[in-house]
Amino acid sequence: MKKVLITGITGQDGAYLSRLLLDKGYEVHGIVRRVALEDPEHRLWRIKDILGKVKLHSGSLESYASLFDVVAKVNPDECYHLGAQSFVSYSFEDEFSTINTNINGTHYILSSIKNKSPKCKFYFAASSEQFGQVKEVPQKETTPFHPRSPYGISKVAGFDLTRNYREGYGLFACNGILFNHESPMRGYEFVTRKISMGAAKIKRGLSKELRLGNLEAKRDWGFAVDYCEAMYLMLQQDEPDDYVIATGETHTVKEFAELAFKHVGLDWKDYVKKDESLFRPAEVHELKGDASKAKKILGWQPKVNFEGLVRMMVDEDLKRLKK
């Protein structure tokens, strides 16, 4: 039985990836913070129904020793490094902790694998935020990076570390440059979930307005389950490589809100209020990915489109509120 180790197993992608790998017959191990183990109701809600099937180990991206110990104990065949401080806005408020945790965490786990499980295939959750002030549209693997946030900078460093462990130490290490990917399990701080829950609450009479920042920002939004499939495929290839994963379609935040409210029979203009305090000090204005390499080599393509995604998220939030 193949063993897999997932950092960030309690997040959106970790939860979906665990299910996918359990279904494929893997023994799934995850690293979680001690506080999460002590407060499963709040911190492990996304993996609640598979808690009996996965093995959790306490560890922190800030501690080399803790990651080293888990890698040594599990000796995984595959490792998906998804754990990070991933909210771009927070990274402006506390750039030191984002940069320290994200860069060191990646470095520690790569080094542990090199020393203890050098045959382990490694996946790094790289990000479209690395493109930042974009140099071309659409963005592909060869597009130069120009990150616009401490988070983006930390991901560029993680990308380079991963590539360097591949080139310098011969690890099977891949970067998945994933564009925004959403689902009903997305955290409430991200704009898509904020909108889907906001529209659902207003529809149910639980709220009166929704405050948003930059409505003109454009993102290439896909469905997280499709993107976890791409992560898995990267590690099943004969050679390690880097891939852009995206839908190739771009929409504004305004369009997301418009569709979400329309889906519940409301006009977004009556409820959405623009709030300048939610604007970012430096914005990534437009992201649109070209995933043709992933399509050609991995045989990957997204199954859920923008409209399908918005409707799914709003429907799930309406259901949750009913309960």
| Residues carrying an active site annotation | 127, 129, 151
Among 47, 43, 45, residue whose Cα is nearest residue 29: 47
Whole-angstrom Cα distance, residue 148 to residue 133? 7
235 binds ligand F7E (CB under 6 A): no
Burial of residue 133 (CB within 10 Å: 0-12, 13-18, 19+) is middle
* Among 217, 231, 291, 314, interactor with ligand F7E by CB under 6 A: 217
278 binds ligand F7E (CB under 6 A): yes
162 binds ligand F7E (CB under 6 A): no
* Among 10, 101, 104, 180, interactor with ligand F7E by CB under 6 A: 180
Give 4's contacts (C-beta < 8 A, 6+ positions apart). Answer: 21, 26, 27, 28, 29, 76, 77, 78, 79, 80
* Among 81, 194, 254, 288, interactor with ligand F7E by CB under 6 A: 194
**Are residues 313 and 193 in contact, defined by beta-carbon separation less than 8 angstroms?**
yes
Among 274, 286, 78, 275, residue whose Cα is nearest residue 180: 286
Whole-angstrom Cα distance, residue 112 to residue 35? 23
**Are residues 251 and 179 in contact, defined by beta-carbon separation less than 8 angstroms?**
no
CA 15 to each of CA 50, 149, 173: distance values in angstroms, whole numbers, following the listed order: 9, 26, 22
Name the residue whose CB lies closest to ligand F7E. 217
260 binds ligand F7E (CB under 6 A): no
Choices 60-68, 106-114, 186-194, 300-308 (CB under 6 A): range interacting with ligand F7E: 186-194
190 binds ligand F7E (CB under 6 A): yes
Whole-angstrom Cα distance, residue 298 to residue 47? 27
* Among 66, 143, 214, 247, interactor with ligand F7E by CB under 6 A: 214
Nearest distance, CB of residue 168 and ligand F7E, angstroms = 25
Choices 18-26, 223-231, 276-284, 312-320 (CB under 6 A): range interacting with ligand F7E: 276-284
SS3 of residue 52 by DSSP: coil
Whole-angstrom Cα distance, residue 34 to residue 44? 12
169 binds ligand F7E (CB under 6 A): no
Site for ligand F7E in 59-98 (CB under 6 A): 86, 88-89
Binding mask 109-128 for ligand F7E (x = CB under 6 A): ------------------xx
Nearer of residues 104 and 139 to ligand F7E, judged by Cβ: 139
Burial of residue 321 (CB within 10 Å: 0-12, 13-18, 19+) is middle
Residue 139 carries which DSSP code?
A: B
Nearer of residues 124 and 232 to ligand F7E, judged by Cβ: 124
Nearer of residues 115 and 305 to ligand F7E, judged by Cβ: 305
Nearest distance, CB of residue 292 and ligand F7E, angstroms = 19
- The four Cα atoms 187, 191, 193, 197 give a dihedral, to 10 degrees, of 120
Nearest distance, CB of residue 7 and ligand F7E, angstroms = 14
254 binds ligand F7E (CB under 6 A): no
The residues that touch ligand F7E, with contacts defined as CB under 6 A, are 86, 88-89, 127-129, 179-180, 189-192, 194, 212-214, 217, 219, 253, 278, 280, 283-284
